[in-house]
Every structure is written in structure tokens, then in C-alpha cells.
Amino acid sequence: MKTVVFDLDGTLADTSGDLIAAANACFRDMGEGDLLDPALDAGTALRGGRAMLRLGMERLGRADDDPLIDEYYQALLYHYARDIDTHTRLYDGAMAAVEELKARGFIVAICTNKPEALARELLTRLGIVDDFAAMLGADSLPVRKPDPEHLLETVRRAGGDPAQCVLVGDSDTDRNTSRAAGVPSVLVTFGPSGDDMSALAPEALLQRYSDLPDVVERLLGKA
């Protein structure tokens, strides 16, 4: 069966506010105060915890302090898990598009580089964990995006055909994953990195979720 696989952070939901808050909690623990800005640094937030910690350390002139970054990464996960859905919101129309895709016969799944337990907790709190046939996180397999096996195994576990899938994402990681897997990608333009998406030359750009079912049918054909 044909499958639509979604990235989570920056694609289905804007999680940047809670990620930034968790990183800033770590910097306060260091005695440095809030080093990241929720608006200006949203793009870095969606690249993961270590990316945020490294950016803050750069601003302290300590970008190469890997031991300290590793030490505080676990603290960041603790802070994030505690307040994982305080600021997070689903993008407008995201779940309506998911339901329309399912109504048209497509399987839907999630492939994210967020740790699986955190991703499952967030989806549970958002009330959408049961809306997807499968969800694989960064630690679900020995590999993760942009390794294509992360995407392809997500499709298999969802019950789909890996040769007939599309990846909906918001980053060069997602684009590189789809290219390595030999499948099309749709990149959203409404996330923090939206202005840069056209340069990645995906098979389609998505400005609003209401267009996604038709875009998927254009790329994969009807389910």
C-alpha cells in the first residue's frame, strides 16, 4: 500500500518553543541565563538538543566543549520531557490532511529524529498517537535519518510498500533521506526553515496542509 510518512518537529507540529525552553533551563543551571531566543533560534531547535546546546556554548565562546554539551544533554531531555507540550502546537490543518489521506486509502506514519519515548509522549499528549499506523524515533533502529533505512522500515512497520511512499518534512535531513531512499519528498514552507526549502529541490513544496492530499496523489497516484 502507498504510504505518507511525516516528520514530526517542524512538520506536523511546531515544537520549537518547548525545545528552546528546555535548552535555556540548562543554561540557567550553568549560571548563564537564557542564551537562546524562541523566535530567532527556532530553526536550530528543530535540529535537536545538542544543536541547541552547541549554539548556546558558541555564544559563550565555548563551542568545542563537547564534554559539557554531553553532560547537559541528559538534563535537557529531563527538562523537555517535563514540559513537552507547554508551547507546542500542531500546524493548522495538519490532522485534517492526515484524516483525508486515510480516507483516500493512504497509510500514514511518522519517522522522526526525536527519541522514540519523547515522540510517543508528545503524540499522546496531543491526542494523536493512535492516528498513525507506525512511529519510529531516533533510537528505534541502529540508524536514523538521513539513513534511508529509517524511513523504509517505518513504511514496512506501517504495512506499506517502501517503493511507494512519500516523505513530508521540513529540512535538508528529510530531503536527503528521501533522495537516498529513491522516493519523493514534500517539504513544508511554513516551518522555521521554510524560506530555504525551495533550494533543496524537493518534488513538491507545501504552503498549506489542505493541499497535501492532492499533492500526494500527484506524486504517488491514487491509493
CATH code of 164's domain: 3.40.50.1000
Strand 13-14 relative to strand 204-206: parallel, antiparallel, unpaired? unpaired
Low-confidence ranges of the chain (pLDDT < 70): 194-195
Do 116 and 59 share a structural domain? no
Do 154 and 57 share a structural domain? no
d(CA 34, CA 22) in angstroms, rounded, equals: 10
> CA–CA distance from 120 to each of 17, 69, 84 (Å)?
18, 25, 11
Question: Cα 139 vs. chain centroid, distance in angstroms?
Answer: 14
pLDDT at 143: 98
In which domain, by residue range, is 188 found?
3-14+88-220
The DSSP output letter for 8 is -
Domain total in the chain: 2
Closest C-alpha to 36, from 175, 199, 192, 194: 192
pLDDT at 192: 78
Do 110 and 216 share a structural domain? yes
Active site residue 7: yes
Do 148 and 200 share a structural domain? yes
Do 167 and 121 share a structural domain? yes
- Look at the alpha carbons of 21, 195, 155, 13 in this order and tell me if their dihedral is positive or negative: positive
Which of 56, 82, 108 terminates a domain? The answer is 82
Helix (H, G, I), strand (E, B) or coil at 27: helix
Q: Counting runs of H as helices and runs of E as strands, what totals does the chain give?
A: 9, 8
Helix (H, G, I), strand (E, B) or coil at 206: strand
Do 190 and 204 share a structural domain? yes
Catalytic residue, candidates 7, 14, 18, 41:
7
d(CA 49, CA 76) in angstroms, rounded, equals: 7
Do 8 and 28 share a structural domain? no
Helix (H, G, I), strand (E, B) or coil at 11: coil
pLDDT tens-place string over residues 185-214: 999 999 877 668 999 999 999 999 999 999
DSSP H or E stretch at residue 205? strand 204-206
Q: List beta partners, residue 14.
A: 89
pLDDT at 29: 94
